[in-house]
Structures are given as C-alpha cells and as structure tokens.
Amino acid sequence: MSGDELRRALPPVGETELTRDLWPAMLCRMEERRVRLTWLDGALAAVAMVWLAVFPETIGVLLYQL
Amino acid sequence: MRQNHPYLRAYMAGITVPTLFLLVVVTGFTMLHGVAAPWERIIMFPMAVVPNLWGVWNMLYCRWRWAPIGVHGAILPLLLVPAGFGLARALEVPWMSVTGAAIALPVAVVVYYLAWKYLVGFFNEVLGVA
C-alpha cells in the first residue's frame, strides 16, 4: 500500500485541539485514588503485629498461607 | 477492553498480590528454616494453591459482590488455613501444628482483610473490575 492509498484509507481527523484542560481532572483522579488507612484498619494492623510479636512461632504458619 | 472477560481480569487481579508476596514468603522461610529446608514440600501450597485460590476468590467476589471486598477476603483464611494445615501434614512439613494453625488463624483473617481491602481492591480498580 502506497502512502497516497494509506492517506485515502484514513480520513483526516477534524478537530484535534482539546476543548478543555485535562490536567485538573487528572489531579482530582489522583487525589481520589490516594489510599487512606482508617483508624480501625490501623488498629487491626497493630493488633496483628502485636499478635505476631507475642506468638513468633506463628510467623512461619502465616507465611505458609500467603 | 474493559467490557471483555471480566472474570479473567478479576482472576489476574486476585493472583497478583500473593504472586508478588511469594518473594517475601520464600525469603521469610529461608530466614526461618534455612536453605536446607524441604522446599519441594514447603513451597507447593504457597506457590500453587494460594495464588489460584485468591484468583478464584476474586472471581467469586466480582460475580456476587455480597459484601465489602475486605470482608470477602477475610473469609478466605477460614478455608486456606485448614487446607494448608491438611496439605502440610500430608506432605510432612516440619513446623506445622494444630496449635500453630489455630493461633495463626485470627491474624491471617486480619492480614487478609487488609490485603483484600487495600491491595486486591486497588488491582481490581486498575483492571476495571472494582
């Protein structure tokens, strides 16, 4: 296929300029995705760490399940 | 693309976390038991069973969505711990005991809850099945 045939097969795109700034929307999206640990989840993680510190022999058993 | 094969994408999102974490598992086992441990028996469950069950479990979540994803994930250890214990005993993995499995179960539930809520939930969002 020559260049002319290719150009004829692909019609020109009409409007190529953006109608609005996409960067603020991107910033909002990034802000939405930021992970926030709730206090309850933090407490659960702390309890799990204390549990493993008290029963270190269970670390191997836990790793076996992950 | 996002309209196609949602269960396949759910499976892939599910297996990502335990597959990546396998490096930590192997490192932890090596530190705990050394390189002379019976790896062919130890690694079978974490390498083959766990990731596949995570994938299937995430497919089930995407099918039913009956509860928050953290709660759904927290139920998985109730199946995995007994299954892992049974397989470990069958393969004569040295350190596995009923007491150890019972003590590890609550913390496994917590770890799974957090992992599913924050990690699998993130991958589900990335792959468009959240």
At residue A47, the pLDDT reads: 92
Average pLDDT over residues B72-91: 89
**What is the per-residue pLDDT across A15-65, written as a single tens digit (0 to 9) for each?**
777 778 888 888 887 777 666 788 898 999 999 899 888 888 888 888 887
Q: Is the per-residue pLDDT at B70 higher than 60?
A: yes
Q: At what angle do helices B50-64 and B69-90 cross, to 10 degrees?
A: 150
At residue B3, the pLDDT reads: 65
Q: Is the per-residue pLDDT at B2 higher than 70?
A: no
Pick from A48, A57, A65: CB nearest B77? A65
A1 — pLDDT class (breaks 50, 70, 90): low
**What is the per-residue pLDDT across B29-42, written as a single tens digit (0 to 9) for each?**
788 777 777 778 88
- Mind telling me how many Å the CA of B81 is from chain A's nearest CA? 6
Which chain A residues touch B46 with a CB distance below 8 Å?
63-66
Q: Taking CA atoms, what residue in A is nearest to B117?
A: A41
Q: Is the confidence metric ipTM above 0.85 for this complex?
A: no
Q: List the domain boundaries for chain A.
A: 3-65
Pick from A35, A57, A65: CB nearest B108? A65
- Mind telling me how many Å the CA of B29 is from chain A's nearest CA? 7
Query: Would you tell me which residues 15-44 of chain A have a C-beta closer than 8 angstroms to some C-beta of chain B?
Result: 33, 35, 37, 41, 44
At residue B117, the pLDDT reads: 92
Contact B69, B116 (CB under 8 A): yes
